[in-house]
Structure formats: C-alpha cells, structure tokens
A = this chain, B = another copy of it.
Amino acid sequence: MKHNNQRKLNTGISVDCVIFGFDLEELKVLLIQRKTAQKAPDSRFSLPGDLIYNDETLDEAAIRVLKELTGLENIYLEQLGAFSALDRLSKIEDKIWLESIREQPNERVITIAYFALVNLNSFHPSPANFATSASWRPIQNVTSLAFDHHEIFESAHQQLKAKLQTQPIGFNLLPDKFTLSQLHKLYEAIVGKELDKRNFRRKMIKLDIVKKLEEKQVGVPHKPSNFYEFNQKNYQKLLKEGFDNFGF
C-alpha cells in the first residue's frame, strides 16, 4: 500500500466505505480487489477502505478513499458506525493478506464504516492506490466479502432502506434529470420489492418534491417520457414543517 511518507498512519483505525450506485436499472455497490505487497491481487472482493492518517479526521479519511476511487467530491456521505468484533480480521485469508501488507499484522484494527450514494453514470471507477481493481456489483450478487465487510455491507443496505422512509435520499443516486419510471425503479431496487407504479407516481407528485421539466427523453424505443428534477426547495419546506414520511 503506497502511503504518503510525510504523514503518520494510525495503525489501529480504518475507514471502509459502502458506495451505492444506480445505473437506472440496478442498485450496485462499488467493490475492490486489494493490492498485496507482492502486487498480486487478493482475489476476494472487499469494500474500499484504508487506515487513517493521524492528521485527518474520519470524515476526511472517508472522503479521501472515495476521491481516489471516483475522482468525485461533494458526494452524499454518512457515518454508518464502528465495527469492532474481536475476530473481524481473523479468517485465514484475512491473516495472509495482513501479513503481506502490514508491519504489525496482528494489531487490532477497528473500522468506522461510511455509506455513500453516487450517480453511477457520472464517472468510471478507477482503482485507488490500495486496490488493483474497482468495479460495480449488483447488490444481490454480493454474497461474501473479505474481513467483516459483508456484515458492514448488510448494515449499510438496511440503513439505506430505513433512511428512504424518512428522507428522499434516493435522489443522490440519480442524474439531475430523470423520468418517474427511473425513480420508481430505484425505489423498488432499494426496498427490494415491487411497488405499485400508479400509487408511487401519485404519492411522489402529491409530495411535490419532483418538478416536471419541459423536456422529454430522446431516442428511446418507447413513447418518450417526461423528465423531472428534484425539487429541493419544496423538500426543505416539508422538512421545516417536521414532515418525515417519505416512505412507500
């Protein structure tokens, strides 16, 4: 792992990021394959993460990890929680990787997990200096991950589902202009079940947090749909009134 030699690493604390993206069809998560000291990839997938530097906060470390992978700044990022199970790095494969990369492979590392929401079409992930590859995986294909990352991923997915009930955070996963069908598909992908299309459209329009644009899709094989954009102003108004029922 190439680290800035001017800065001192905190060898007991890391950040790991669950980065969700939506390609207008499926909900995906950004996974990496890690570098080892021999530059041979660890074939298992894991969440992107890194030890923190002693001169940065946890938020700054998470932003750094995200920026290295995505090139993006100012994206939706939230602390999920700290994970400290005593056996979180104790699988045989974990040990082999740690021995290849760390000066003190047996030192305990507690990780603080973050979850991020990005518009997947706005960039192509590039492997950061701690990874040999970075790629989007549909969430239903994520069945096992290195370390305790599957537990962290599950926890982030639950948090995403729960948040969607009280905040319209899904908009962070969409391009600025989207159709109601795309929005509906996103909600179905997050909650993991079918949602009645007509009820969904009706409620979304009644909430008045999407604004219809004078612009339609072009070059689609079906009747072109209207584009909408998120109505940030009306949403802030609802928030001020204490409204928090955005669930479907």
Evaluate contact between B57 and A84: CB separation under 8 angstroms. Answer: yes
Evaluate contact between B12 and A55: CB separation under 8 angstroms. Answer: no
CB distance from A165 to the nearest CB of B (A): 6
A85's partner among B57, B86, B165, B242 (CB-CB below 8 A) is B57
Cβ of A13 within 8 Å of any chain B Cβ, yes or no, is: yes
How many of chain A's residues touch chain B, expressed as a range?
Answer: 20 to 34
Evaluate contact between A54 and B84: CB separation under 8 angstroms. Answer: no
A166's partner among B58, B81, B166 (CB-CB below 8 A) is B166
Evaluate contact between A58 and B79: CB separation under 8 angstroms. Answer: no
Instruction: Kindly list chain B residues whose C-beta atoms are within 8 Å of the C-beta of A166.
Output: 165-166, 244
Evaluate contact between B84 and A58: CB separation under 8 angstroms. Answer: yes
A48 to B110, CA, bound (A): 21
A225 to B83, CA, bound (A): 46
A112's partner among B59, B82, B245, B247 (CB-CB below 8 A) is B82
Evaluate contact between B57 and A86: CB separation under 8 angstroms. Answer: yes
Which residue of B has the minimal Cβ distance to A110? B13
A12 to B107, CA, bound (A): 12
Q: A81-B81, A247-B244 known; A54 and B108 CB under 8 Å?
A: yes
Listed A/B pairs (12) with beta-carbon separation below 8 Å:
A10-B12, A10-B108, A55-B86, A57-B85, A58-B84, A58-B110, A79-B82, A81-B81, A81-B82, A165-B244, A242-B247, A244-B247
